[in-house]
A and B are shown apart, each in its own frame.
Chain A
Amino acid sequence: MLELLAALFLGVGAGVFTGLAPGIHTNTVAAGVLAFLPILTAWFPPLALGVFLVSMVVVHSFVDFIPSIFLGAPDEAETALSVLPGHRMLLEGRGYDALKLTVIGGIGASLVGLAILPLFGFAILHGYEKLGIIIPLLILAFSIFFILLEKELKKIIWAVIVFLLSGVLGILALNHLPIREPLFPLFTGLFAISTLIISMLGKNKIVEQQISGTIEFKGHWFSHIKSSLSAALMSVLPALGAAQATVLAQAVSKKKDSSGEDFLVMVGGINTVSAIFVLATLFLIGRARTGVIAVMKQFLELDLTGFLILLVASLVTICLAVIITLQLGKFIAKRITKIKYRKITFAVLVILIILVGALSGLYGLLVASTATAIGLIAPQAGIKRIHAMGAMVFPVLSYFF
């Protein structure tokens, strides 16, 4: 019991670190766990390591919005989506409100997610095997659907270009080049370095931030339901994740969300509730849908008791994450005008490049450089960044065909 508690708090600490440090993904820490597995298992039982990973992912899913909103520096596809409305609210002096919306989304979607978990379990247990052969077709269909959502022909063409370029890069990096931790340079380039470069090129002046209480919890239930359902669907399909779930949830919204508030609630919700659904997917059908879960699968045989312990750990962590995120957000919002924005962005950029070099070597730097260029295309062409998830979709499809 003590080991589980210690693991939970260590996971919370790791989640705060990965969430705040742009470019450091939970997968990176999970890869570290994997590398030191023989030493770690001497100190902690496998279930405690599972609690550590789950707590880290949940806290990360909340805290990650702080750099996304306040620095415009996400480290993954999911939070990259929040940059536009979140950063816009920051420029209006409402960065903390934007953060609060993502936290509200996290709480609401988790509650709805828990309520529909038995239904999700029933559907996945009885439906997944029947999906079988059509899974790659579904992934392809969703990818095409997301491209067509761009509506204008010119944007559709750019989306196809980004999808194809990132797909080829994904195949080369994951299947053919001798790179250690290929996902790290791939995603760092596609989503972090490219955003930091754009952020540095921008001339936006950060205004004094208001710490108001104008954002209410109520009134977002429909968004929470949409978040949970789309996250549940995407948790089952390989290569598709929270970013795609957000676009899907947005696509089924009839109401025009000009303020971007509903969007922030949904992206916040999907990011958190996905952590619960991917855990359930591992328990029910033994499939890993994220890097962290793939690591967990290698050392933990998940039975019902183990699953319930991890579920309770994630709920406790959600409560802690809410408090930590709001307090940290308030602290940063009050000081944002004093922060040397460009210098921090530049420092983060340099750190990321050093990390890529150290972790993945020369090949990693080449992959990150190409990924950065591809990551720059989407915002410059005015299209969604999720098309760059071709980097995961292509390797997964190559496995099926």
Chain B
Amino acid sequence: MQEHRLLAIALIWSVAGLMILLLLAIYAEPQQLQIAGLETEIGKIVAVTAEVESVSYKEDTVFMTLSDNTGKIKTVFFGNPSSEIIRGDSVAVKGKIQLYRGNLEIVIQELRCLSC
């Protein structure tokens, strides 16, 4: 009896928890940061608005170096952006900060070109 009650509580708790997290994922915007402040954010999802310093396309992957007035960072985006991004464009990206071969990079989840 106790097992069934615990099972029911766990199931309701799981579904309710997932719904709350889903709402948070939809409505909670990641912190908008400058590039210099990203060093302490490894593993976190952040938002950055910056200028494209260099860009290269390889199959379905876009590699960009972004810069703002505090520094620069490499990024990778797996997919095709809605419009072609070129050097000098201003972009807003949302993605996860990680270290790749000892250097910081943003693995972009959402990419928006502000000047295209």
B residues 55-90 touching A (CB-CB < 8 Å): 78
Contacts of A177 in B (CB 8 A): 21, 24-25, 28, 45
- B31 shortest CB reach to chain A, Å: 7
A169 near B21: Cβ-Cβ < 8 Å: yes
B99 near A366: Cβ-Cβ < 8 Å: no
Chain B residue at minimal CB-CB distance from A175? B109
A169 near B102: Cβ-Cβ < 8 Å: no
- State whether the Cβ of B116 lies closer than 8 Å to any Cβ in chain A: no
Contacts of A161 in B (CB 8 A): 11
Q: What 1/0 flags go to B34-48 for Cβ under 8 Å of A?
A: 000000011111100
Interface centre among A165, A176, A299 (most CB of B within 10 A): A176
State the majority secondary structure of interface residues on B.
Answer: helix
Chain B contacts to A: CB under 8 angstroms: 2-3, 6-7, 9-11, 13-15, 17-18, 20-22, 24-25, 28, 30-31, 41-46, 78, 99-102, 109
Contacts of B21 in A (CB 8 A): 169, 172-173, 177, 366-367, 370
Interface centre among A181, A366, A367, A373 (most CB of B within 10 A): A373
A298 near B102: Cβ-Cβ < 8 Å: yes
State the majority secondary structure of interface residues on A.
Answer: helix
B17 near A370: Cβ-Cβ < 8 Å: yes
Chain A residue at minimal CB-CB distance from B103? A298
A176 near B25: Cβ-Cβ < 8 Å: yes
A-B contact count (CB 8 A): 88
A299 near B17: Cβ-Cβ < 8 Å: no
Contacts of A182 in B (CB 8 A): 43
- State whether the Cβ of A37 lies closer than 8 Å to any Cβ in chain B: yes
- B80 shortest CB reach to chain A, Å: 15
From A208-216, A342-350, A376-384, the one touching the partner chain is A376-384
Additional A-B contact list (19), CB under 8 Å, known A169-B18, A175-B109, A178-B45 = A31-B43, A35-B42, A37-B102, A165-B18, A169-B21, A176-B109, A178-B30, A179-B43, A180-B42, A180-B43, A182-B43, A298-B100, A363-B28, A369-B17, A370-B17, A373-B11, A373-B13, A380-B6, A380-B7
Q: With A180-B43, A299-B102, A377-B7 in contact, do A370 and B18 touch (Cβ < 8 Å)?
A: yes
